[in-house]
A and B are shown apart, each in its own frame.
Chain A
Amino acid sequence: MEMNAGLACLDLDFAWPGKPAAGRNVLTAINATFPPGTLTLITGATGAGKSTLLHLLAGLLRPTAGEIRADGRPVSRWPASHRDPWRRQVGIVFQHLALIPDLSAAENLLLALLPRSISWSRMQTDIRRQLMDADLGELAQTPAGELSGGQRQRLAMARAMVGAPRFLLADEPTAFQDDAHAFAIISQLQRAVAAGAVAVVCSQDPRLKASTAVQHHYHLASGRLLTDPDPQGPS
């Protein structure tokens, strides 16, 4: 494996501009490495900064100090013109899902493929396969706004996966899922990891904490990221 492969946070600080948050950063001195072929779970209380960390890893925000490296390259320092196309290697599931409600399930997935230089028929094939994986094959033409909470969650996961991303970042991907669908999502993550992806998941779901698919456990508290000594215990 390449020495610098995967995602790495180096002395990462983050504070919202104009919001000193009582004098402290949202994230402070984060040092962590997320190697390829591994699934990392980050736990933490609500408001601990889990989503912010994912947004930083995805290049949607810039750190106030330190840097993020992707396969050894300092992506957090890149100008927008370089970071925007780099995000094609990232698949992200937002906590608020960010699905477009009037577009069909298939069209929501298409948005992730359109800027890539692939043919229309290849896009259709990839979308169909991903929807089948997410157990949404019958709902391809249904507007996202008409899906149930669990179906929308799976659709968001499918959108993150459809481009076969190198970096898979998921915020509460198993929310609203019954056990069968939760394990199906964990299997999807496992398959992506087996294919060499870097997977970082933020979740409080005990099913994920207990899953053997997760190789690394971190806990985020008071803006600091620490190795979780008791992954299956209460956070």
Chain B
Amino acid sequence: MISGKSGYPMLLWAAREVLRLPGRNLLLLACLASLTFLVATALLLSQALDRTWSRLMDQAPDLVVRRIDAGGWAPIPVATALASASTVPGALSPTPRLWGVVPGPRGPVTVAASTAAIPEDALRGLTPPLRGQAVVGAGMAGFIQDDRLILDGRMQLTVIGTFPPETGLATHDLVWMAPADARSLLGIPSGHASDLAVTLFHPEEAEAIRADLAAAFPWPVNITGLRADSWRHHVRAVRMGGMAVVACVPAVLAMVLIVLGTAAGTGSRQSQWGLLKALGWTTGDIVRLQVIQAAVVGLPAIIFGLALAYAAVFHPPAAGIAAMWITGGRHLPELVLDHSGAAAIMLEITALVILPYLMAVYLSTIKGVARDPLHLLQESPWK
């Protein structure tokens, strides 16, 4: 749009035109920045939740086998379980895990003693707890006094560390402790585990191997897959983002109406367009000027709105406030976003904010300028 000798003066003139109506353009900038902030916050949050969950799920086992009996979950005999799983082709590295849920200081908490039950990212840089010690998630840190944690009203542990905040989605209410402590707390006898984690040679064969695994064990088992969990969280994140975007639709429409109202212009604006045509400007020149002018106001507004949204999702304390506001009080972990996620957000912002804005400017200018120059000139009296 801006090229050659005529582009640079046109850009300068567009900036000058913006300064001619500072109040109107400031209002437009604030309106666009707010709209971008609202839409981008919702989209970034859902995208980042999805991405963060996926990253943690990548480290989780493909299948988890739990023994069930008439009373519900039952401890799984480790030796028998390992022998049974090893007979199933494609099921690799069956690993017994020791974990469970017990009453904590402010509600139920998850305790885990085997590293297979905790994401690898969460374990990085942490020393495994010895007997009487614990490593806790960020959600637990607030309930601990003098490094003491009491679980089930009977076991007192010394807290020696906390999981990294970026793993909060999986470790928020998690307590990592020594196996002996966990067995005592969960009532799991020696030689038994809570469940069996299985990695698959081909994860896409999970559904087929699940049936083979169920048949291989001598007792009834319940087998859950990673894909089902991931899909459930993905759907939840997408639904959340979609609902937020739908909620922003009235704001988008209001913005388009404001832009149409302002860009369509008054009589004096049209008479100036008439003058420009009398001076040799083409319809294309006038539309180009208006679109550049819209970009001069719109680009900083959208960058500012995006920066605010990014801070609100990824940078505490703004991130905490935004998460509380959007989720209605649920605490959210530190989130991550990858390049493809960021690109998707940019595409969505382009479709929801930038395109309607530029189209409103373009169409209203075309509509306003497509008349004989003299009729435009006479739209308002010249002083």
Whether the pair A87, B278 counts as a contact (CB closer than 8 A) is yes
Whether the pair A116, B283 counts as a contact (CB closer than 8 A) is no
A97 is an interface residue with CB less than 8 A from chain B: yes
CB-defined contacts of A90 to chain B, threshold 8 Å: 280
Whether the pair A84, B277 counts as a contact (CB closer than 8 A) is yes
A55-B374, A61-B372, A111-B275 known; A87 vs B5 contact (CB < 8 Å): no
Chain B interface, DSSP helix/strand/loop, else mixed: helix
CA distance A98 to B10 in the complex (A): 21
Whether the pair B12, A120 counts as a contact (CB closer than 8 A) is yes
A60-B373, A100-B272 known; A112 vs B279 contact (CB < 8 Å): yes
A88-B280, A107-B16 known; A97 vs B382 contact (CB < 8 Å): yes
Q: Which of B9, B20, B276, B370 contacts A120 (CB 8 A)?
A: B9
Nearest 8 A-B pairs (CB), nearest first? A88-B280, A84-B282, A60-B374, A87-B280, A96-B382, A112-B279, A115-B285, A60-B373
B231 is an interface residue with CB less than 8 A from chain A: no
B219 is an interface residue with CB less than 8 A from chain A: no
Whether the pair A101, B383 counts as a contact (CB closer than 8 A) is yes
CB-defined contacts of A85 to chain B, threshold 8 Å: 280, 282
Say which size band chain A's interface belongs to: 35 or more
Q: Please give the distance in Å from A139's CB to the nearest CB on chain B.
A: 18
Whether the pair A115, B283 counts as a contact (CB closer than 8 A) is no
Whether the pair A111, B279 counts as a contact (CB closer than 8 A) is yes
Whether the pair A98, B4 counts as a contact (CB closer than 8 A) is no
* Binary interface encoding of chain A residues 111-125 relative to chain B, with 1 for a CB under 8 A from any of its CBs, else 0: 111111111100100
A145 is an interface residue with CB less than 8 A from chain B: yes
Say which size band chain B's interface belongs to: 20 to 34
Whether the pair B10, A114 counts as a contact (CB closer than 8 A) is yes
CB-defined contacts of A163 to chain B, threshold 8 Å: 280
A212 is an interface residue with CB less than 8 A from chain B: no
CB-defined contacts of A96 to chain B, threshold 8 Å: 381-382
B13 is an interface residue with CB less than 8 A from chain A: yes
* Binary interface encoding of chain B residues 1-15 relative to chain A, with 1 for a CB under 8 A from any of its CBs, else 0: 000111011101100
CB-defined contacts of A101 to chain B, threshold 8 Å: 383
CB-defined contacts of B279 to chain A, threshold 8 Å: 87, 111-112, 115, 159
CA distance A163 to B275 in the complex (A): 15
> What would be 17 A-B contacts, judged by CB atoms less than 8 Å apart?
A60-B277, A60-B374, A81-B282, A81-B283, A87-B279, A98-B278, A98-B377, A100-B272, A101-B383, A112-B279, A113-B9, A114-B6, A115-B282, A116-B280, A118-B5, A118-B6, A123-B9
